[in-house]
């Protein structure tokens, strides 16, 4: 088989779903550079109109798109439908964000003069998408970039190219020119070529910390290229005194095991006050055992589907065993529930007695438990990470939450809610290894256009009053 062919398989069955040819990065960039000036020159209302048509097209194809996401990414159909809804809703949110954060402003600046702030698009933007939300997350970059007047080259994850292809087809059906939003099929080589290409003005990335750091390092000597990195986390959920331990257990499960743990905001660490540990486990472990893991299109619908592929499942099982070997105590063993397919049951492991707990993102259904004596120790343990995306406190008083919020290092901080499920109407991003201070979602408008400050007069007026010979 030619190395130029990329194949996608369904995680739940192992069957081939899609195949296609790797993209030509140079040709795509050249076409985008030719196309973007005309797109940028369109009135904003026309660009918005075409994106509203895109939203309607996604809505029209909603059932088919949700089924494709479920089959290719392995997430249950109920969750895939929620992803399609997020794609639809992104347009209205992005229109509002563009007006609020990058709209035109004009104000007086001295006699007969005015000052203005307007925004210009960067040019050609490369969007590198992940497999866990193969439409929603890249769409969160693409829509605001197009509204601002950029052309976009979208490289979906090599694990979910079919979903990426379907998303781009919706843009084209809505009347957005084919060279303005292009699909670039490929793997790491094509991604690296897009990042390094001199004709690309910006790189918008969602994925692992290792890949994000490599992008940052590659572009360190090129400050003219805008870079937005969203890189995941080793997210803590901290539980202290609460009378509602059943609710706490449900929130923990939502945080740790939704999407089979394949969310950048998923809780990786459960930090529990020692005095509530036993009672919480009496709620959490039986509830977790009840979670259905199964075919994404099956009936009744499972809570979790498979992880993305067998290699990922193998690495997660090895990581669970490594934690056991290092001194962890299994509270709920992770199992491969279907031979030769990447279905994993949730694993929960107490790692309190591991002296050097690994600060890595285990991207799957593994929850590590750490016991602490009090809230302050819980905050210290929560901050014991190089990441800083999402954190949640369950239980406590408003004063406890105030202390938690003030001291936790994260871009998303919740109280009595899960670590995931962030609103698209708020900024989305983190600090440390979780991002580079360019949050997405509502604040994506900030990195899709740059501000231009102007002082303007209808006629030249100037005199020199100092330092002139008579």
Catalytic residue among 79, 170, 264, 448: 264
Long-range contacts of residues 380-386, Cβ cutoff 8 Å, at least 24 apart: 381/236, 381/269, 381/271, 382/236, 382/238, 382/269, 382/271, 382/408, 383/407, 383/408, 383/409, 384/357, 384/359, 385/233, 385/234, 385/236, 385/359, 385/432, 386/234, 386/359, 386/432, 386/433
Q: Which two tokens stand for residue 178?
A: 């084919």
230 is catalytic: yes
Active site residue 381: no
Give the separation between CA 370 and CA 378, rounded to whole angstroms: 9
Active-site choice (10, 83, 230, 381): 230
Q: Known catalytic residues?
A: 230, 264
């Amino acid at each position: 088989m030619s190395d130029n062919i990329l194949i996608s398989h369904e995680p739940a069955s192992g069957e081939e779903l899609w195949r296609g040819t790797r993209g030509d990065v140079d040709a795509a960039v050249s076409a985008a550079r030719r196309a973007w000036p005309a797109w940028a020159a369109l009135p904003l209302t026309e660009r918005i109109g075409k994106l509203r048509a895109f939203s309607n097209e996604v809505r029209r194809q909603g059932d088919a798109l949700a089924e494709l996401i479920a089959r290719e990414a392995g997430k249950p159909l109920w969750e895939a439908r929620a992803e399609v809804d997020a794609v639809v809703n992104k347009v209205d949110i992005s229109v509002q964000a563009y007006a609020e954060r990058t709209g035109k402003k004009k104000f007086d600046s001295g006699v007969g003069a005015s000052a203005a702030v307007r925004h210009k698009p960067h040019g050609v933007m490369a969007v590198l998408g992940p497999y866990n939300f193969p439409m929603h997350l890249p769409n969160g970059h693409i829509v605001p970039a197009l509204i601002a007047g950029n052309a976009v080259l979208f490289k979906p994850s090599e694990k979910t190219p079919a979903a990426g292809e379907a998303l781009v087809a919706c843009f084209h059906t809505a009347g957005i020119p084919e060279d303005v939003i292009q699909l670039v099929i490929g793997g790491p080589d094509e991604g690296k070529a897009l990042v390094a290409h001199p004709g690309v003005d910006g790189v918008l990335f969602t994925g692992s910390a290792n890949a994000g750091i490599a992008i940052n390092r590659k572009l360190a000597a090129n400050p003219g290229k805008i870079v937005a990195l969203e890189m995941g986390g080793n997210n803590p959920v901290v539980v202290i005194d609460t009378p509602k331990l059943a609710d706490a257990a449900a929130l923990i499960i939502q945080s740790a095991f939704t999407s089979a743990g394949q969310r950048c905001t998923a809780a990786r660490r459960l930090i529990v006050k020692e005095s509530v540990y036993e009672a919480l486990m009496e709620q959490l472990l039986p509830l977790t055992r009840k979670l259905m893991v199964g075919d994404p299109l099956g009936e009744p619908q499972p809570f979790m589907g498979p992880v993305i592929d067998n290699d990922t499942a193998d690495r997660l099982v090895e990581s669970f065993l490594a934690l056991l070997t290092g001194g962890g105590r299994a509270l709920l063993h992770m199992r491969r529930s279907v031979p030769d397919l990447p279905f994993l049951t949730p694993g929960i492991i107490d790692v309190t007695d591991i002296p050097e707990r690994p600060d890595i993102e285990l991207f799957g259904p593994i929850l590590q438990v750490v016991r602490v004596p009090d809230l302050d120790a819980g905050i210290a343990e929560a901050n014991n990470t190089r990441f800083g995306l999402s954190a949640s406190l369950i239980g406590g008083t408003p004063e406890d939450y105030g202390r938690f919020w003030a001291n936790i290092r994260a871009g998303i901080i919740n109280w009595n809610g899960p670590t995931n499920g962030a609103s698209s109407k708020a900024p989305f991003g983190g600090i440390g290894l979780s991002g580079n201070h360019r949050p997405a979602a509502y604040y994506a408008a900030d990195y899709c256009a740059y501000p231009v400050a102007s002082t303007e007069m209808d006629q030249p007026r100037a005199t020199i009053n100092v330092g002139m010979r008579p």
